[in-house]
């Protein structure tokens, strides 16, 4: 696992976006795994900037989102369909038929989850999966105690996740209790993982995920098992890391990418 610490949220977002851009420049038909939430927003804004100012091309890209609330229609302002289209998809040139987001209103959740897994496989698998992290260390909606080999499924949200997400809704009781989410095993199948985290509230979760034991109580710790996982954080989110000096040394010593 590579840990990259940047000065602030803006710098962290630029570094993450550059990793995505480098992939698209070498593999224009890449399959991207997308995450929602406030933390990846800066990454998406930077990708939109690269698309507009530097002609970063998304015309052959396929995307799969990690999760979606159950019960929210696509038009709901707090649905992840709405979030992705508002902040990213409508600003770049990804063909609409290449965009895949779990359905929160399907009539058969089990069948839909099986289809979603098959669809990922049919596209050749996810090349790069973007991830955020919850304050309790979860990735996607894989709450504590989730199996580390889990696949896309219906998941009951924890009280902490509901509390954390209540700020996006008018009332706490409006927060959905269930979600469809990629499983930890699904996420680990991606060829590269990029997890972004910002702020003091994520410091404990990042320390547990990066330096703690691999455990289903902190599903982000499963990234330790992945062959190509990158964790990009700002100074505040890095404040609980005991090996910080070593991570900085590795990043500084990393050879520059060759110019095309």
Catalytic residue, candidates 46, 67, 234, 235: 67
In sequence order, the β-bridge partners of residue 178 are 156
Residue 19 inside a domain? The answer is: yes
Q: Answer yes or no: is 38 within a domain.
A: yes
The DSSP output letter for 191 is S
CATH code, 139: 3.40.50.1360
For residue 166, tell me if it sits in a domain.
yes
Query: Which residue would you say has higher pLDDT here, 211 or 168?
Result: 211
The pTM for the full model equals: 0.94
pLDDT of 144 higher than 70: yes
Active-site residue, 51 included: no
Which among 46, 143, 234, 235 is annotated as catalytic?
A: 143
Domain-embedded: residue 260: no
pLDDT at 257: 57
Q: Annotated catalytic, 138?
A: yes
The pair of three-digit structure tokens given for residue 98, joined into one six-digit string = 């290449």
Strands 229-234 and 192-197: parallel
Is 258 domain-assigned? no
Query: Pick the catalytic residue: 46, 81, 117, 138?
Result: 138
Domain count across the chain: 1
Per the listing, tokens 């998941």 go with: 155
Of residues 46, 136, 234, 235, which has the active-site annotation? 136
* 143 in active site: yes
DSSP code at position 258: P
pLDDT over 90 at 174, yes or no: no
Residue 204 forms part of a structural domain: yes
* Matching residue, tokens 């840990």: 3
CA distance 243 to 245: 6
Q: What is the CA radius of gyration of the chain?
A: 17
* 192: confidence class by pLDDT, cuts 50, 70, 90: very high
Q: Residue 118's domain spans which residues?
A: 2-253
Cross-strand pairs, 6: 234
Inside any domain, residue 44: yes
Residue 163 annotated to the active site = no
Q: How confident is the model over 214-237, as pLDDT tens digits?
A: 999 999 999 999 999 999 999 999
First to last CA, the chain: 26
Cα 96 to chain centroid distance, Å, stands at 20
> pLDDT grade, residue 211 (50/70/90)?
very high
Crossing angle for the helix pair 9-26 and 41-54, nearest 10 degrees? 50
Answer yes or no: is 114 within a domain: yes
């Amino acid at each position: 696992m590579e840990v990259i610490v940047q000065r602030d949220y803006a710098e962290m977002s630029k570094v993450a976006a550059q990793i995505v851009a480098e992939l698209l420049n070498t593999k224009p038909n890449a399959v991207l795994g997308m995450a929602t939430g406030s933390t990846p927003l800066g990454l998406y804004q930077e990708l939109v900037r690269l698309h507009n100012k530097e002609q970063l091309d998304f015309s052959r890209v396929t995307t799969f989102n990690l999760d979606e609330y159950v019960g929210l229609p696509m038009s709901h302002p707090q649905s992840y369909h709405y979030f992705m289209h508002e902040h990213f998809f409508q600003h770049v040139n990804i063909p609409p038929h290449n965009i895949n987001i779990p359905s929160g209103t399907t009539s058969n959740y089990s069948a839909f989850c099986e289809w979603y897994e098959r669809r990922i496989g049919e596209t050749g698998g996810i090349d790069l999966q973007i991830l955020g992290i919850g304050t309790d260390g979860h990735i996607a909606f894989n709450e504590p105690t989730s199996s580390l080999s889990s696949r896309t499924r219906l998941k009951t949200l924890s009280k902490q996740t509901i509390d954390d997400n209540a700020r996006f809704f008018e009332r706490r009781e409006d927060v959905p209790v269930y979600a469809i989410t990629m499983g930890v095993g699904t996420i680990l199948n991606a060829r590269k993982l990029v997890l972004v985290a910002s702020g003091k509230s994520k410091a404990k979760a990042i320390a547990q995920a990066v330096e703690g034991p691999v455990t289903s109580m902190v599903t982000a710790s499963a990234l330790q098992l992945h062959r190509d996982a990158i964790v990009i954080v700002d100074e505040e989110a890095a404040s609980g890391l005991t090996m910080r000096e070593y991570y900085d040394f590795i990043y500084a010593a990393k050879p520059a990418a060759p110019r095309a």
